[in-house]
Structure 1
């Protein structure tokens, strides 16, 4: 999700060459469960979507695929003819497909849009402020329309075990100074160790003394398990990752608002938004339900329990009364 600019630029051409053929964009999208609309969605006037041809894409990490599947299920239930282009390999290819019109709708993250795609130098503090900024600029430069964002914020955080919470009595990043310097050990990604908006900026913002020997580098997925096993006290995590719940980890509050906002928003091509305004009405009640706690639970069903994203999407939409 937070792909470095160099990778985005270099990877776009290669990934697109492999994924876009004369028959169109090829992905590992899979199935779209059939359903009817229920509850408040069934009472909406969505006749404009009947027979509409809409292609929904996603990147190839589980949370983004899950959100894409939700959108496909609901659009199809509303009468649209949907094309499943979820699970595109790589952020660069997914973004390029959206820009050139192969994809009509895709969930994106405000921080990713602002910092990576639009190449702005600094994040904007505040959820609404960041959303409004990326919404305005992406529409102006690329004719992409960002619908109102969900409450969830899949940003960086540092998590600790329940035992560490009890031992040190801390719940937020500003309290790390309570931990003896020798015990301030961090499990982090190699990229996070050096990037300006990663470890160096966090240490400076919170005025922390963290010797270089206290930093242990891991692959992203390995950090969660290493932190749970006590190989370090603080583990770099993403706030909606299902392994946080599965491993009983506690993210510390970023009380100085250092990390960028990564609220998720359904992004439509502007021409599609204008032709089918019903999409925004259909998706608004769903978007409002997408909190951090909800995504942690749904991601855990995929990452930990091994369920398919389409199955989890269908089950949750049913649990919330959006489909029977």
Structure 2
């Protein structure tokens, strides 16, 4: 069934790519069109529009963006075939069955994970995996900021003293997962919650608001963290896998268009997690357009006029 679903998703992606209008055409200024794919969540969409704005501003080229690709492996496949030239990917992708087990060292060290992604994706897919954009979008645990201050909780270890009295809400997959799931978390940190409840993500945040939940699993740049004034706990024992965001590009495009590499290099360490959370908040909660949020951010950073 998984193979069937993947095949259906791949056919859908091919249909979308076939419909892309700019590939192999010249821009009005005589440049080329770069094709960029994004996943179906907000941060890569914002980043894509940043790239689009910078390329338009600094070169004769343009960027076509194809949004809402259901999974990063589909984007990587499209890049390998030459259908996409650029994407935002996350370092933890190196653990997602792209390489033989003996090639990959599983580690929670962010720098080592990024270095492996850079080396292995270059070797197998001829892709340049750039240094970090400056933020991670990784799994974490969040509680209300008021509760954190009341109980002096900063880290996941700090939470251990209170956990036997607390209910945590999480997506059902985390309860069942192996290496980075709840069972492994209990072994790693040495404590259990009173109750772990699997549910939809939106219900998790609602449960924190109503007091039915005391803690939740979250992604570190979820906009609800800002909306609900939550405290993201430090993973002080290094349990959750790193998920550092980077731009990734085909080496042949970078060789042919070195100005593209210059633009990508200008975005390294451009945005931290707090800033990305704010931008996602503006899109998801305040309903602003990703392109407008991206452009305003670049103006604030002095990269656009």
Contact 2:110 2:242 (C-alpha < 8 Å) held by counterparts:
yes
Give, in whole Å, the separation in 1 of the partners of 2:255 and 2:238. Answer: 35
Contact 2:154 2:234 (C-alpha < 8 Å) held by counterparts:
yes
> Which of 39, 54, 65 is equivalent to 2:34?
54
In the alignment, structure 1 residue 255 sits paired with structure 2 residue 236: yes
> Which of 96, 101, 109 is equivalent to 2:82?
101
Contact 2:35 2:85 (C-alpha < 8 Å) held by counterparts:
yes
| RMSD over aligned Cα atoms | 2.3
What is the TM-score of this pair, normalised by structure 1? 0.84
- Which residue number in structure 2 is paired with residue 199 of structure 1? 182
In the alignment, structure 1 residue 276 sits paired with structure 2 residue 270: no
In the alignment, structure 1 residue 241 sits paired with structure 2 residue 222: yes
> Which of 292, 296, 305 is equivalent to 1:311?
292
Contact 1:19 1:25 (C-alpha < 8 Å) held by counterparts:
no
Contact 1:56 1:82 (C-alpha < 8 Å) held by counterparts:
no
The CA deviation string for residues 215-267 of structure 1, in whole angstroms up to 9 with x for no partner, is 11111233223223322111100001111011100011000111111011110
Give, in whole Å, the separation in 2 of the partners of 1:10 and 1:164. Answer: 46
What is the TM-score of this pair, normalised by structure 2? 0.88
Unaligned runs of 5+ in 1: 1-5, 28-48
Give, in whole Å, the separation in 1 of the partners of 2:181 and 2:60. Answer: 42
Q: How many residues align?
A: 294
Unaligned runs of 5+ in 2: 22-28
In the alignment, structure 1 residue 15 sits paired with structure 2 residue 5: no
Give, in whole Å, the separation in 1 of the partners of 2:207 and 2:16. Answer: 45
Give, in whole Å, the separation in 2 of the partners of 1:105 and 1:271. Answer: 11
In the alignment, structure 1 residue 139 sits paired with structure 2 residue 139: no
Give, in whole Å, the separation in 2 of the partners of 1:234 and 1:225. Answer: 11
Is the alpha carbon distance of 1:74 and 1:116 closer, same or farther for their aligned partners in structure 2, counting shifts above 3 Å?
A: farther
In the alignment, structure 1 residue 158 sits paired with structure 2 residue 141: yes
Give, in whole Å, the separation in 1 of the partners of 2:145 and 2:17. Answer: 52
- Which residue number in structure 2 is paired with residue 81 of structure 1? 61
